[in-house]
Amino acid sequence: MRDPYIERAKALHRELDRLLAAGLGDRELRDAIEGLEDRSLLPFVVHRVARGLLERDPILFGPVVRPRLLLWGYDGRGKWHRPWRTAVGKVDLEWLLRFAEERDDAPLFKAAMQLHFDSVAWRKRDALFRKELRSRFHRGLRSAERASLLERFAGLGHLDDASAIELYEAEPNLCKRFILDHVPPVEWDAHDRDRLPKLLDRTRSRDPLFHFALYRTTVGSATWRRDVQSLIEQASDAELDSELERRHPAAPPSKIGDVFALLLEKRGDAATPYVHRHLADTVRGIFGSGGYETLIDLARRRGDERLWAGLLRYVATPKEYNAAVRELVRDLTDGGSSRDRLLLLAGLGRELNFGRFSVARVQPLHDDVACALFDRAPELLDGVFKQHLFAGWHETYPHLLDRVLAAEHEDLLDFLASRFVTRGGFWVNKKLTVAAEKLSRYYEGLRRDPVVFAERSSNVLAQVPPFAIGSYDALLEGNRLARLLYEHAPVDYLASSRAIRDLLESPEIHAQRLAFRALALGLPSARRLAAENIDLLAATLLRPLHRRTRLVAFAALLNAADDEVTAAKVLSVAREAMHLPDLRYPKEELVGLIGRIVHRHAALRNERERNVVYRSA
């Protein structure tokens, strides 16, 4: 099939040729190029004109050319090729490199050098990077010139021992950061091997601070293990911790747990702070436990409960974690140590923060373990272990639910309901919807007493985390409990002012919408409660809400504006909301709300809202 872009590329080549031949001034030419109809293909054709444009005016055309230098492009006949590998391209590239160096234009130099590296095979690029760097980094350069050179080469490749030593020997202070940033990567089959071993040797006594910074970045696991072994044998208790710390690898090696175990076995308390500090580095591999088994055996033997609990929460698989909890629950007796040890196993595990996202790992309890814990110590399951109940695809807690329902443990029931009420849709384990159905029958039974139902249901919905519901419509279709709590009974929530307040304060928008719907009903109790909660309702005028939700909130606000004082509060915020520049804000409906309120309370009309009656003169 013919590439649909070929004709466009050919047309763009023709258009560029026409512009260059038109005798335009530099500025007009720049504007004309930037204003081209089909600019999106410009990066694939700019190689033909890059040199010419930069020769005309590097300042004006630099921003046009620099970000658009690519390895591949279309030639004038629409052929897809590597333009910088052609004879003309090579000459142009050489000129570009020289030009960028003369002008000390680091971004242009980097872009051109990337094109230059493309001339060799992938594995040989680092060698070419080093050759180009060393050929320029001769001893005749001044310090400032060397700094510029390193800036130009930053991020383009990796150093080897010889080149790193050459840089370090020439100007250590200037090059240390560059060396640390350009150490060779770990090869997949050589994790044990040190990188830059000669430079490490050379800096050991001359520059200990840099040596250990380099050590932490480049040390292979074999050397590190050997060094730890020698520290175990030679370092005093006072210096052990700091010596271990300054050798701790930046990227923890595999099976680090074995090394920790060795340390604890041989040096005991002196090594404990270091091991505790780096416990989170113990990670299970795909083919092994990362030394977990050795370490947890040792923790048990030494009676180091903090380490034992940390390993179970951070490193153990859910199966191992549940086995440990099961064993402790079995041994639970009044006043025994099992309870204390059990408590140590509750809580968060590993926490990861990257960018604006944060994830915390919590070990999930299995159904049988949760049942056992509920039987022996329900206050623990309802307390610190509540966060370990994670209803999802793998675990649906059918037996626990039966037991909790039978025992009518209200707090746990509400918590479990808050987890099951959000599970629905095609991809959900059908056992979850069965559990939701069981719970819906229980909550339906509570409707006999509207106050109890309102407070219990709002307690369920209050525990639903924000954004836990993906598709609300799919949820309603597949989850009977959700239908009951969210859709069937808004009027029931009016029985309890506390329930309404809880729903309004919920960070979950569907719970809030439920409260708006209840407060929008044409009942005296709805009007009274709406007025009581005017502080939260008025804020909805200024919050970003979906149109559907906002219209329900408007209706609730109209209910709230029954008396003149509350109406004045609503009006003042509503008039301010008119000035918000929000897209899709239903301003017509907002005007309607204001109109209805001022119709109801004529005294609140401002000058422009008063009726004007025109009579013939």
Site for other proteins in 529-558 (CB under 8 A): 535-536, 539-544
Q: How many residues bind other proteins (CB under 8 A)?
A: 71
Helix residue ranges per DSSP H, 48-189 = 50-56, 58-65, 87-103, 106-117, 125-136, 143-153, 161-170, 172-181
Where are the alpha helices (H) located in 291-391, listed in sequence order?
Answer: 292-302, 305-314, 318-330, 337-344, 367-376, 378-381
Strands (DSSP E) found in 337-484: 351-354, 357-360
80 sits in which H/E element:
strand 80-81
Under 8 Å CB-to-CB from 456, ≥6 apart: which residues?
Answer: 410, 414, 443, 446
- Residue labelled with tokens 């304060």: 505
383 binds other proteins (CB under 8 A): yes
Residue 465 binds to other proteins (criterion: CB under 8 A): yes
Of 160, 166, 414, 492, which lies in the binding site for other proteins, with binding defined by CB under 8 A?
414
* Contacting other proteins within 101-130 (CB under 8 A): none
Candidates 88-96, 309-317, 371-379, 399-407 — which segment interacts with other proteins by CB under 8 A?
309-317
Q: Which is nearer to other proteins, 95 or 585 (CB)?
A: 585
Which span (182-190, 222-230, 322-330, 571-579) binds other proteins, by CB under 8 A? 571-579
Binding mask of the shown chain, residues 583 to 612, with x at each position contacting other proteins by CB under 8 A: x-----------------------------
Question: By CB under 8 A, which span of 320-328, 341-349, 433-441, 445-453 interacts with other proteins?
Answer: 341-349
* 393 Cβ contact list (under 8 Å, min separation 6): 428, 429
Which of 576, 591, 592, 602 binds other proteins (CB under 8 A)? It is 576
User: Is 144 near other proteins (CB under 8 A)?
Assistant: yes
146-205 binders of other proteins (CB under 8 A): 147-148, 151
Q: Kindly report the CA angle at 85 between 10 and 116, in degrees rounded to 5?
A: 120
Q: What's the min distance (Å) between Cβ of 85 and other proteins?
A: 29
Answer whether 317's CB lies under 8 Å from 284's CB.
Answer: yes
Q: If binding is defined by CB under 8 A, does position 336 make contact with other proteins?
A: no
Residue from the set 128, 280, 323, 446 that interacts with other proteins by CB under 8 A: 280
* Cβ proximity to other proteins, 93 vs 156, nearer residue: 156
Q: Measured from the CB atom, is 124 or 361 closer to other proteins? A: 361
The residue range among 44-52, 88-96, 272-280, 562-570 that interacts with other proteins, by the rule CB under 8 A, is 272-280
Under a CB-based contact definition with an 8 Å cutoff, are residues 369 and 398 in contact? no
The residues, ordered by sequence, that sit 6+ positions from 21 with a Cβ below 8 Å of its Cβ are none
Smallest gap from residue 215 Cβ to other proteins (A): 16
CB nearer to other proteins: pick between 59 and 406:
59
Q: Which is nearer to other proteins, 214 or 499 (CB)?
A: 499
304 binds other proteins (CB under 8 A): no
HSE value, Cβ hemisphere, 13 Å, CA-based, for 476: 9
Task: In angstroms, give the least distance from the CB of 102 to other proteins.
Answer: 14
Query: Does residue 359 touch other proteins according to CB under 8 A?
Result: yes
Does 340 participate in binding other proteins (rule CB under 8 A)?
yes
- Residue placing its CB nearer to other proteins in the complex, 192 or 305: 305
Cα separation, 341 vs 336, in Å, equals 10
Helix (H, G, I), strand (E, B) or coil at 465: coil
Residues recorded for the chain: 617
Exposure of 510 in the CB half-sphere (CA atoms within 13 A): 23
Helix, strand, coil shares of the chain, percent, nearest 5, are 70, 0, 30
Q: How far is the CB of 186 from other proteins (least distance, A)?
A: 15
Longest CA span, the chain? 111
CB of 318 to other proteins, least distance (A): 16
* Alpha carbons 334 and 379: distance in angstroms, whole number: 14
User: Could you say which of 354, 426, 427, 614 contacts other proteins (CB under 8 A)?
Assistant: 354
For other proteins, the binding residues in 28-87 under the rule CB under 8 A are: 34-37
